[in-house]
Amino acid sequence: MTATDTDIDTETTEVSTAETTDASETARPDGGTPDAADSGTTDATRATDTSGRQSPAVAATGPGTDTLLQTDGLTKRFGGFTAIDDVDFSVETGELRCLIGPNGAGKSTLLKLITGRHDATSGAIYYDGTDITTRRPNERVDLGIGMKFQVPSVFDELTAYENMRLSVQRTHADAHLDEAILDALERIDLAARATTPAGELSHGQQGRLEIGMAAALEPDLLLLDEPVAGLSVEERNEVADLVTELNDDGIAFIVIEHDIDFVAEIAHEVTVLHGGEVFREGSIEAIRDDDDVRRIYLGGE
């Protein structure tokens, strides 16, 4: 996604973290997912049966359970190629999960299925008591799923303050807006750069601004696709601190990351994807010591 791709209405000045697209995809004017045409028939499992009863899977992510997100046999095919293959994956409320795996394992595709940027070919996604499998991206944002994509999404010509305003105004009334924007900038250590155009911020500061903007929408689950790619060690540590702080505040995370040191610093549990399937799940220590993971992750298979 680039800044110019994002849908900003100059009257209401609105930005959505999951409604936007990157250069490889085309946004649909109806706000629907961009790839309905290429995904083939969607026969995703429905959450209610014909009698209108809620399925056990929906209830499993509902109030009183620890599970915030659950996928059930989730599959995504691009033509004849299966990028995500019958994946059962779940995230607990408030947990911080890292998603690793070799290039092409399906990590980004899985996140895009969760945000609604891709339609599922089959299977289902349940979030906080709701079947979101066919919900539009903006509905998923409203339900509490935020996303920071791999490509920059701040508006270079707007200041840090103006960028942050785009998010904060969605959750705060006018009377408290200024204070809330400054608080949000303080949280990401950018209050002193409030009047600096985002394009003049360092790569690391831009990354923090993007995460801060996504967090300002007050999600319960925040998805980050390679948040420290290209950052210096110092900038990486700042992002690690920020993610940890936001997680301590109660936001659950799914973080895709190749930088295993960063993963070790932040993760509770790690899921390894390989060939579109869940290959392993466990603690970072167990995953690091797993010879099979090392082999596939290092490209030996």
Ligand X SMILES: Nc1ncnc2c1ncn2[C@@H]1O[C@H](COP(=O)(O)OP(=O)(O)OP(=O)(O)O)[C@@H](O)[C@H]1O
Interface pick for ligand X out of 32, 65, 78, 151 (rule CB under 6 A):
78
Interface pick for ligand X out of 17, 33, 109, 247 (rule CB under 6 A):
109
d(CA 136, CA 246): 26
- Residue 252's SS3 state is strand
d(CA 170, CA 218): 10
Interface pick for ligand X out of 21, 27, 90, 101 (rule CB under 6 A):
101
**Measured from the CB atom, is 168 or 223 closer to ligand X?**
223
Q: At a CB cut-off of 8 Å and minimum separation 6, what does 221 contact? A: 68, 69, 91, 127, 144, 145, 146, 251, 252, 253, 254
Size of the site for ligand X (CB under 6 A): 11
Kindly tell me the burial class for residue 233, based on how many C-beta atoms sit within 10 Å of its own C-beta (0-12, 13-18, 19 or more): exposed
Q: Strand 67-78 and strand 122-127: pairing?
A: antiparallel
Residue 108, interface with ligand X (CB under 6 A)?
Answer: yes
Q: What is the nearest approach in angstroms of ligand X to the Cβ of residue 189? A: 28
- Residue 286's SS3 state is helix
Residue 263, interface with ligand X (CB under 6 A)?
Answer: no
Q: Which two tokens stand for residue 195?
A: 């009047």
Q: What is the nearest approach in angstroms of ligand X to the Cβ of residue 296? A: 12
**Measured from the CB atom, is 51 or 81 closer to ligand X?**
81
Residue 116, interface with ligand X (CB under 6 A)?
Answer: no
8-state DSSP, 65: S
Per-residue b or e along 183-218, where b marks 16 or more CB atoms closer than 10 Å to that residue's CB: ebbebbebeebeeebbeebeebbbbbbbbbbbbbbe
Residue 83, interface with ligand X (CB under 6 A)?
Answer: yes
Residue 230, interface with ligand X (CB under 6 A)?
Answer: no
Residue 98, interface with ligand X (CB under 6 A)?
Answer: no
**Measured from the CB atom, is 38 or 200 closer to ligand X?**
38
Residue 113, interface with ligand X (CB under 6 A)?
Answer: no
**Measured from the CB atom, is 70 or 109 closer to ligand X?**
109
| Listed ranges 100-108, 153-161, 261-269, 282-290: which one lies at the site for ligand X (CB under 6 A) | 100-108
Interface pick for ligand X out of 37, 48, 53, 104 (rule CB under 6 A):
104
Interface pick for ligand X out of 107, 172, 208, 274 (rule CB under 6 A):
107
| Listed ranges 3-11, 57-65, 75-83, 241-249: which one lies at the site for ligand X (CB under 6 A) | 75-83
- Whether 156 contacts 197, CB under 8 Å: yes
- The residues binding ligand X (CB under 6 A) are 78, 81, 83, 101, 103-109
